[in-house]
Amino acid sequence: MYATLSTTPSVVTKPTQHRIVGRLTLALHCVVACVALSLAFILFDNTLFAWHPAFMSIGYVVFMTEGLIAAIHFRQIDGHERVKAIWSHALLQLRAVICVVIGFGVIYRNKILLGKPHFVSLHAKVGLATLILSILMPLWGLVSFRRMGIIQRFPEIWQPRIKAAHRQLGFITWLLALVTIELALPHPAVKKGWLTLAWQAGIGLVAVLLSILSAKAVAGPKHFSGPEDALCKTV
């Protein structure tokens, strides 16, 4: 899956890098599942409001995180396998968007029923910005995917930048989603004592693990004379 690395002492060998990436990925899967599922089930009390944290945690913590993990891994492969991996990433992100849109609709409807104003708290404002970006990023991804035939309409010099911007803004969107969740957890409606602290720590751990995974998994191309740029021209 990964190209051969340089033999200089400062560069991690291929088997070592592969092992580190594998362990980080497994750790992420476990933390994501524990945090998201516990949030969804423990906070669910069969009220309309309870569907909001359920859909948001599944959408952002599960599907969007898994989508980013998939995106990190497919940057090291090419050809048909890369195309399949990109579609897998796209489907995960689509599921994330569906979940968060439903979650947004639930809380919007709940506010109307309770006669409360919309977008007043910091959590609500950051959440709205995150929702907008969450909808825009998959559309940007379609533009970036050469198989769709859209990115070729742009000057060739712009194309790697369009792809890079999609990756960077997608990561920022995901970080904003985690910040939005962190802002929500201390709210009296969802606060659960020590569990709240555990959830906050878990969300923070997800952010740290994915950041490390991204750094470890994509460190190779810098030593490979830039094959990622070549990949950008083919997929």
Question: Helices marked H in 115-193 — which ranges?
Answer: 122-144, 159-184
pLDDT confidence bin for 235, thresholds 50/70/90: low
Could you report the per-residue pLDDT of 101-125, keeping only the tens digit for each?
999 999 999 999 999 999 999 999 9
Give a yes or no: residue 5 inside a domain: no
Q: Quote the CA–CA distance of 165 and 116 in Å, as a whole number.
A: 37
Give a yes or no: residue 45 inside a domain: yes
Domain limits at 86? Answer: 14-234
Give a yes or no: residue 205 inside a domain: yes
| Residue range 49-71: mean pLDDT, rounded | 98
| Residue range 145-160: mean pLDDT, rounded | 94
Looking up residue 184, the CATH number of its domain turns out to be 1.20.120.1770
Give a yes or no: residue 116 inside a domain: yes
Q: What is the pLDDT of residue 79?
A: 87
Give a yes or no: residue 2 inside a domain: no
- Mean pLDDT for all residues in the chain: 89
Give a yes or no: residue 27 inside a domain: yes
Give a yes or no: residue 9 inside a domain: no
Q: Of the given ranges (8-22, 35-49, 133-147, 174-188), which has the lowest mean pLDDT?
A: 8-22
| Residue range 187-200: mean pLDDT, rounded | 96
Could you report the per-residue pLDDT of 26-47, keeping only the tens digit for each?
999 999 999 999 999 999 999 9
Q: Provide the CA 124 distance to its chain's centre, in angstroms.
A: 20
Give a yes or no: residue 4 inside a domain: no
Total count of domains within the chain: 1
- With 90 as the cut, is the pLDDT of residue 194 above it? yes
Sign of CA dihedral 207, 209, 215, 220: negative
